[in-house]
Every structure is written in structure tokens, then in C-alpha cells.
Structure 1
Amino acid sequence: MTSGPGRPDRMKYVLFDVDGTLIDAVSNQRRVWETWAERYGLDADEVYRVALRTRPMETFAQVAADRDPSECLALLHDLEDEDVRSGVYTAFHGASELLHGLPPGAWALVTSNYEHRVRGRFERTGLPVPEVIVDAAAVEEGKPSPVPYLQAAARLGALPADCLVIEDAPSGVRSGIRAGMTVWGVNAAAAVEGVHRHFASLREAVPHILAWTSGPRGSAAV
């Protein structure tokens, strides 16, 4: 719960992206798309290059325009579900310490993936699961729309100004900024345009995130 407007003791919240931010899933995503491409006799490198910058349906339209998009999506979902069951996942260094160190009810996950896959990956990596997960099925507009982050804040009972977004990708950064939240970038050599603060790794950001949750409101963008 938040305190009254303008009070300095309002609770602060942290909203996390998942893939690329808390969990390193790059090799898994590449393997899934390579297998998908092989099933259709397509060039795996080209498919993955397109998939990195577009949503699945847009990827299908570019690389497999002659195929039924619903069939393409069904195969992709089957491959992703199998990868959650059998793939090897790694949490970024510092993720467990960070999530276990946050106050209960003070953080959420905001992902373009689906909740059952997130739960499967967290179970495989030993990460705690929060009460609030906003996934692809929860919103009609995904990142870079502000809707996913605004929904997470609403479900936590938080004001956007009291939320810190942790992201690794440009679309997620734009989503958080458009939601009126403070956005910190992690796990990239260079800062994503628009972030209020940049860290080369999640591990580097951990003490600052924990300090932010207990510090005076309004200090996040320093």
C-alpha cells in the first residue's frame, strides 16, 4: 500500500524485465529460432536476425510469408515450451541476491513472454517468483507501449512515480519511460537511449537497486 500523496514514506517498487535482464536466455532463443527455421527449410541465421528486431508475427510475415502464421506461431510456442522443460538456463550474477533482498510485494515481473514459461525458467534457476507477473497474455499492447508497466504498477497499488524499471532492451526502456517511471538499463556495454542510469551488468546494479527501495523518494534518477 502507498501512503498519502506527497508523503516521503511511500513504498517504492521495482519492475523487472525477465529475458536479458534477470535470466540469460540468448542461447535458448537462438536455438529455438534455429530449430523453427530448419522445420521450414529456411536460413537459420537470417531468421534469427529478423526475429531479434521484430515480434513473432512480423517475423513470419518477413521470412515465411507463404506459410499460415497461426501454424508458424503454434510451432514456435511448442519449441519454446520444450526448451523451458529441457533447456539449460542461467540467472545473471546477482539476480538471486537481488530478488531475495527486496521487500515482499515490492516488485513484479513485466515480460513479453508467457507466465508459465517464466515460472518454468525461475524454477530451473532457483529464483523467487513474485505475486505480480504481467505477461504477453495480460495486455493487448506489448512493449514499447506503456501498458505492461502501468498494469504492473496498478496491480501492486503503486504510482508510476514510485516505480523503478530494470530493462536491457530499447523497447522495454521506451515502455517504462512512457509509463512515467524511472528506468535503469543493465547488461549492455553501452547505455540504451533514454535510460536514467546505466550499468554494464546486473551484478553492478544490485546494491543501487536495493538502496533505491529504501532511499528517499525521488532519488532514483541520480
Structure 2
Amino acid sequence: MISEPARQGRMKYVLFDVDGTLIDAVSNQRRVWGTWAERYKLDADEVYQVALRTRPMEAFAQVAADHDPRECLATLHELEDEDVRSGIYAAFDGASELLHSLPLGSWALVTSNYEHRVRGRFLRTGLPVPGVIVDAAAVEEGKPSPVPYLRAAQQLGARPEECLVIEDAPSGVRAGLRAGMTVWGVNATVAVEGVHRHFDRLREAVPHILAFASGPHGNAAV
């Protein structure tokens, strides 16, 4: 059994979503899905609205039910990989300072994308890559399931109550809350339902995230 002083001295952990939280990829995602829709002669705006709310295979079932979903996914992967190589990316203001300031082993990435794309984008934007990345291939259940965030905590050796989740999207917020973690929302003008704190921009959250990472146990939602 761990004594109370030992508990208070335990490390704190920060788990980050990637697209929309650390990397500004909205225009890239819209362009990729637009090109994908053109390949299948579908309405690009309608496809993108569905893609925003669902995982790819679920989106295919809704907008391209008469096509082989494996073929649809292969086409999407091809377009996304090309976008990583040639698309224009930018990290959100504050992301580089924040990630470079966090202690090694205290943070992870939890993404619905794939690790090789995350690494490609981070390389192009100069962001450091952590030792733990939980991507779409690492779990059978994606967000809003708590599984991705719980997997990241497990790999870091953290308890859920020691983790702060930084998210921009409702599905990610729900995933963090279901995992029993503190969840802060960023990069949205309206707070996502359920978040413990909300910041319009990541830059505004940076000092508070760093304070969480170095502060005493139990101040997560302050």
C-alpha cells in the first residue's frame, strides 16, 4: 500500500489528442476527404460532415455503402499519406513550447490517426515525439471509448486520476471522461460538454498545463 505522502509526490501525466489540438490539420482533412469524395463521385461537403462525426469505416457505411469498405479505406490511406508528404501543416501556437517543457516520460499522444502520419507531421512542424503514442492501430475501440486513453496511461505507468487529457473534439472529451481522467478543452470557441476547464486557444492553456504537470496531486480541475 502506498502512503499518502508518496501518493502526493507521484508524477503527473498529460495525454494529448493530436489533430485539432496540437496540429492544425482541419484544411488538410477537408481536402483529403474532398478528394476521396470526388473519386467516388460523392458530395464532398456531405462526406466531410459525416467524417467529422465518425471513424472512417463508419463513414463509408453511411456515404458509400455500395462500395467495398476495404477499398475505400485503402484510397483514404493513400490520400492521407500523400498529404503528410506534400500538405502544408502548422502546429498551434504554444504547442512547441509546451511539449519541449514537459518532463520526459510524463506525456503521450492519443490519436485516431496512425503513428507514421503523426511522426511525419511532427517532423515537419518541429514538435518533439514522445515515447508513447497510442494510435488507431493500437486499439480495437477508438474514441469515444475510454480504451485509447487507458492504454496510454497504462504504458506510462500512470493511474487515470493522475492524468490530464487535452482535447478539442466531443468524442475525445467523452473518451477522457469515461477513462476517469481530468479533461480540458482547447481550440474551440464553445466549451465541449463535460470538460473541467476550457480554453479558446491552446496558447492560453500552456501555463496551466505546465502547472498541472509540476503541481501537487489533486489540483487537476482547478
Q: TM-score range by the shorter chain?
A: over 0.9
Secondary structure at the residue paired with 2:19? coil
2:75 and 2:175 map into 1 onto residues whose CA distance is 28
Aligned pair 1:118/2:118, yes or no?
yes
Aligned pair 1:75/2:88, yes or no?
no
1:67 and 1:174 map into 2 onto residues whose CA distance is 31
Long gaps (5+) in structure 2: none
Q: Which residue of 1 aligns with 2:203?
A: 203
1:189/1:200 contact within 8 Å kept:
yes
1:116 and 1:58 map into 2 onto residues whose CA distance is 22
1:46 and 1:146 map into 2 onto residues whose CA distance is 28
- 1:112–1:138 distance in 2 versus 1, CA, 3 Å: same
- 1:5–1:42 distance in 2 versus 1, CA, 3 Å: farther
Q: What's the TM-score once normalised by structure 1's chain length?
A: 0.97
Aligned pair 1:37/2:45, yes or no?
no
Alignment of 1:127-146 (within 5 A): 127-146=127-146
Query: Offset at 1:216?
Result: 1.1
Amino acid at match of 2:121: R
Q: Which residue of 2 aligns with 1:49?
A: 49
Secondary structure at the residue paired with 2:200? coil
1:42 and 1:85 map into 2 onto residues whose CA distance is 25
Amino acid at match of 2:74: A
Query: Offset at 1:214?
Result: 1.0
2:41 and 2:119 map into 1 onto residues whose CA distance is 32
Farther off after superposition, 116-125 or 59-68: 59-68
1:4/1:10 contact within 8 Å kept:
no
1:108/1:133 contact within 8 Å kept:
yes
- 1:101–1:41 distance in 2 versus 1, CA, 3 Å: same
Aligned pair 1:4/2:8, yes or no?
no
Q: What's the TM-score once normalised by structure 2's chain length?
A: 0.97
2:42 and 2:160 map into 1 onto residues whose CA distance is 43
- 1:5–1:129 distance in 2 versus 1, CA, 3 Å: farther
Amino acid at match of 1:42: L
Give the RMSD, CA atoms, in angstroms. 1.1
Taking only the aligned residue pairs, the percentage that are identical comes to 83
Q: How many residues align?
A: 220
Q: Which residue of 1 aligns with 2:170?
A: 170
Aligned pair 1:22/2:16, yes or no?
no
Secondary structure at the residue paired with 2:166? strand
1:195 and 1:143 map into 2 onto residues whose CA distance is 15
1:32 and 1:111 map into 2 onto residues whose CA distance is 18
1:79 and 1:5 map into 2 onto residues whose CA distance is 52
Q: Which residue of 1 aligns with 2:219?
A: 219
Query: Offset at 1:4?
Result: 3.4
